[in-house]
Amino acid sequence: MRQVIKFKIKRFDPMGAEGNAPYWQAYNVKLDHGMTVLEALLKIEKNDDPTLSFRRSCRSAICGSCAIMINGTSKLACHTQIAPEFEKHGEMVIGPLDNYQVLKDMIVDFTPFWMKMERVKPYLVPKKEPKGGWVITNEDTKVIDASQKCIMCGSCNGACNSQEIDEGYIGPSASAKAWRFVGDIREGDKRLRLDRISQEHGIWDCVRCVSCTEVCPKDVAPMTAIEKLREEALAEGLDDNPGAKHALALVDSVKRVGRLDEATMTFKTLGFLRSLGMIPFGLKMQMHGKMPHPILFPAIGKLDEVRGIYKARERQRKNERKKKG
């Protein structure tokens, strides 16, 4: 006999009897071999409830339209089999993607997603072609390979912790798209592009929680793209913002004393005036014995070894730059 699995689905219908309040509804689904969550939703829609709303198109993990929350994680419904999911969680809890405004049931408003894409100019602005045309090597392609695989499903934005607290944050998907062009050797607008995304709500607001990379169904690794964008932005001298200043202060602190000198880092990140606003916080830390002395901050032993790592990395960088020409 085929197993029957209960689906607990988060519903929302602004025109329905429940008004603006989301509510939960349960449906029983007879499991077929290898059945996906999308197939179950289609079955429910056909047999039990034609009002259930969700997006889908290709059913093959290509179009990116069926991303939803499945047991608390952003996933493609067409690419998620029920059996292993049920075995792992002991239930099937389905809902719309987090961090988006819900229009109806699992249909969310993608307008902010597309606006963020627009912010990064998602197309190549070619620089002057060299004599004899472009020669694109395998290595050149590899650099941007992952970011080209994005299917715009929006799962990463749904899982992003920075986006949860700041709707304006550029987000992982648009950042990965930005890297697609910044990392392209033919790109002519690299600096302008990097400048745009280095501003407030840009790449420096990522807290490196890795959630985007974990949920991406296409291994785009948006967080790695953000790290590369930050590196390129610094290489272009775009460091007049708190995020870049903080990163540089951290590098400087470890080089100077072998560890994080938080007091000096705060000062370097925020500047003198804004650091004054941190005094109450500093006093609280002082009361709990957690405030490092701002002047007498001793370096660790074997600092030479730490500095040796810096020197080795600098040599590595020089070689990389030479290779790039």
Residue 38 vs 146, nearer CB to ligand FES: 38
Q: Quote the CA–CA distance of 108 and 302 in Å, as a whole number.
A: 54
- Radius of gyration of the chain, Cα coordinates, nearest whole angstrom: 24
Shortest Å, Cβ 273 to ligand SF4: 28
Shortest Å, Cβ 161 to ligand SF4: 5
What type of residue is 106?
A: M
Q: Quote the CA–CA distance of 264 and 277 in Å, as a whole number.
A: 14
For ligand SF4, the binding residues (CB under 6 A) are 64, 150-156, 159-162, 172-173, 176, 206-212, 216, 218, 220, 222-223, 226
Shortest Å, Cβ 73 to ligand SF4: 11
Residue of 258, 176, 169 lying closest to 216 (CA atoms): 176
Residue 161 binds which of ligand FES, ligand SF4, none (CB < 5-8 A, kind-dependent): ligand SF4
Residue 61 binds which of ligand FES, ligand SF4, none (CB < 5-8 A, kind-dependent): ligand FES
Site track 38-77 with ligand FES (rule: CB under 6 A), x = hit: ------------------xxxx-xxxxxx---------x-
How far CA 200 is from CA of 100, 155, 189, 277, in Å, comes to: 21, 23, 20, 19
Residue 39 vs 98, nearer CB to ligand SF4: 98
Long-range contacts, stretch 93-96, CB < 8 angstroms, 24+ apart: 93/8, 93/10, 93/69, 94/7, 94/8, 94/9, 94/10, 94/37, 94/41, 94/68, 94/69, 94/70, 95/9, 95/10, 95/68, 95/69, 96/10, 96/12, 96/68, 96/69
Does position 35 interact with ligand FES (CB under 6 A)? The reply is no
Residue 9 binds which of ligand SF4, ligand FES, none (CB < 5-8 A, kind-dependent): none
First to last CA, the chain: 67
Q: How many residues of this chain bind ligand FES (CB under 6 A)?
A: 12
Shortest Å, Cβ 325 to ligand SF4: 30
Q: Is there a contact between 63 and 57 (Cβ–Cβ < 8 Å)?
A: yes
Residue 65 binds which of ligand FES, ligand SF4, none (CB < 5-8 A, kind-dependent): ligand FES
Residue 66 vs 244, nearer CB to ligand FES: 66
Residue 78 binds which of ligand FES, ligand SF4, none (CB < 5-8 A, kind-dependent): ligand FES
Residue 63 binds which of ligand SF4, ligand FES, none (CB < 5-8 A, kind-dependent): ligand FES
**64: CB partners within 8 A, 6+ apart:** 76, 151, 152, 153, 154
Shortest Å, Cβ 98 to ligand SF4: 11
Q: Quote the CA–CA distance of 164 and 204 in Å, as a whole number.
A: 15
Residue 106 binds which of ligand FES, ligand SF4, none (CB < 5-8 A, kind-dependent): none
Residue 95 binds which of ligand FES, ligand SF4, none (CB < 5-8 A, kind-dependent): none
**219 φ, ψ (degrees, to nearest 5):** 55, 40
Q: Quote the CA–CA distance of 78 and 260 in Å, as a whole number.
A: 46
Q: Quote the CA–CA distance of 323 and 135 in Å, as a whole number.
A: 15
Shortest Å, Cβ 266 to ligand SF4: 22
Shortest Å, Cβ 165 to ligand SF4: 10
**Partners of residue 32 on adjacent β-strands:** none
Residues in the chain: 325
Residue 40 vs 151, nearer CB to ligand SF4: 151
**Can you give the binding site for ligand FES, defined by CB under 6 A?**
56-59, 61-66, 76, 78
